[in-house]
Amino acid sequence: MFEEFCKCVGHTPMVRLGPNLYAKLETFNPTGSVKDRIISFIVEKAIEAGDIGDGTTLVEATSGNTGIALSAAGAALGVPVKIIMPCNMSEERRSMMKLYGAEIIDVPPSDFARAIEIRNMLVLEEIDHWSPSQFENQNNILCHSLTTGPEIYDDLSSRGLEWSAFVSGAGTGGTMMGVRNFIKSQHALSTKCVLIIPEEDASCHGIQGINDGADFLLDVTMMDSTYRVSTQDATQRSSLLARDHGLLVGISAGANVVAAERWIKENNPEGAVVTLLCDRGERYMSIL
C-alpha cells in the first residue's frame, strides 16, 4: 500500500489567487499537506537502503503535518508510529494521527528542542526505531529540489509566465531551501526567494508549522528578503481564502498569501509570484 500512497504525492495543481499571484495547492496530497512529499521521498529511500523493515517503528518530532504524513505512511506499511509533539498543537492534527494508529508523546508547549531530544533518545536506545529526522535530513531539501521546484517551473512555463518570486515560511527549511536550490540550478532564472517569519516570538506565535524555534535546514543568508506576518493577519487571510476562493487552508497558508501580496504591492513584478497553500484547514477548525 505504501507504493500506492507515494503515487498520490506531488503534481499538485497551481491556482491563481490574484494579479501575478499563484499558489501550489498542496492540499491535494494524500493526507492534505506539503509534508507528504518529504515523508514519501525519505521513507522510500530508507526502505531501499534496508533501514525500514517489517519490525521497524517510525518515530519523529513534529508540529503536526509531518507527523500526520508519517502516521499515514506507517499505516500503509503496517508498522507502528510514535509522534513526539508540543501539547499546544491543534487537537485536529492530533486526532488525525491517532486515526492513522500513531502513538503521541507530548512535550511542553512549543518545546521542539525537547521533542527532538526524546526522538533522538528513542532512536538511539531502541534498535528497531527509525526516524526521517526532518530537521536534519538533507533529503528533505533534495525532495523539494526534485519535485516542488520543477513542478512550479513547468506549470508557469506552460502558461507562458516568468517566475518573479517564491514566497514561503519555513519550518524545517526544507521547502524553501529545496526550491531555492532548484532556482539557482536554472541559471536563466532571476527568481527572488522571500522568507516569512512570524511577527511574534517562536514561543507564542500561532502560525503552526513555521519558525519552530530554530532555523534547522534553512540558511537565512541565502534569502533575498524577509517579511514578518502576525498570527492575526495570517488567521484572517486563511479565513478569507475560504470565503472568497473556496479554499479551506491552514494558517501558514494565510501567512504565505499575506506576505506574497505585500511583496507584489511593493515590487510590482512583471512575472508570477508563487507561494504554497501548505495544508487543509480542517485541522485548525478549533482555532480559526
Chain segment 214-238, per-residue pLDDT in tens:
889 999 999 999 999 999 999 999 9
**What pLDDT, on the 0 to 100 scale, is given for residue 208?**
86
* Cell numbers representing residue 19 in the block: 494579479
pLDDT in tens, 89-124: 888 989 999 999 999 999 999 888 899 999 999 999
> Counting Cβ atoms within 10 Å, is residue 124 exposed (0-12), middle (13-18) or buried (19+)?
exposed
Residue 287 has pLDDT above 80, yes or no: no
Rounded to 5°, the CA angle 44-182-276 comes to: 80
Closest alpha carbon to 77 in 41, 53, 50:
53
Q: What is the percent of the chain with per-residue pLDDT over 70, rounded to a whole number? A: 100
pTM of structure: 0.95
Residue 158 has a pLDDT of 97
CA nearest neighbour of 285 among 227, 221, 235, 212: 235
pLDDT over 90 (residue 174): yes
Say if residues 275 and 256 touch (Cβ distance below 8 Å).
Answer: yes
Q: What percent of the chain has pLDDT over 90?
A: 87
Tell which residue, 79, 92, 123, 113, has the closest CA to residue 71. Answer: 79
**Per-residue pLDDT at 204:** 84
pLDDT band for position 13 (cuts 50, 70, 90): very high
Which pLDDT value is given to residue 211?
Answer: 87
The mean pLDDT of 155-183, rounded to a whole number, is: 97
Q: What pLDDT shows up at residue 63? A: 78
pLDDT at 213: 75
Of 63, 38, 95, whose CA–CA distance to 251 is shortest?
Answer: 63
| Helices and strands in the chain, H and E counts | 10, 10
Report how far residue 42's alpha carbon sits from residue 132's, in angstroms, rounded to the nearest whole number.
Answer: 6
- Mean pLDDT, range 33-46, rounded to an integer: 98
Residue 288 has pLDDT above 80, yes or no: no
Buried/exposed code over 253-266 (b: 16+ C-beta within 10 A; e: otherwise): bbbbbbbbbbbbee
Q: Kindly tell me if the per-residue pLDDT of 255 is higher than 80.
A: yes
Check residue 201 and give its pLDDT: 86
Q: Which amino acid is at 125?
A: E
pLDDT of 88 reads 87
**Chain-wide mean pLDDT for the chain?**
95
CB 62 within 8 A of CB 156: no
Indicate the SS3 state at residue 22: strand
Q: What is the mean pLDDT of residues 81-88?
A: 94
Q: What is the pLDDT of residue 278?
A: 97
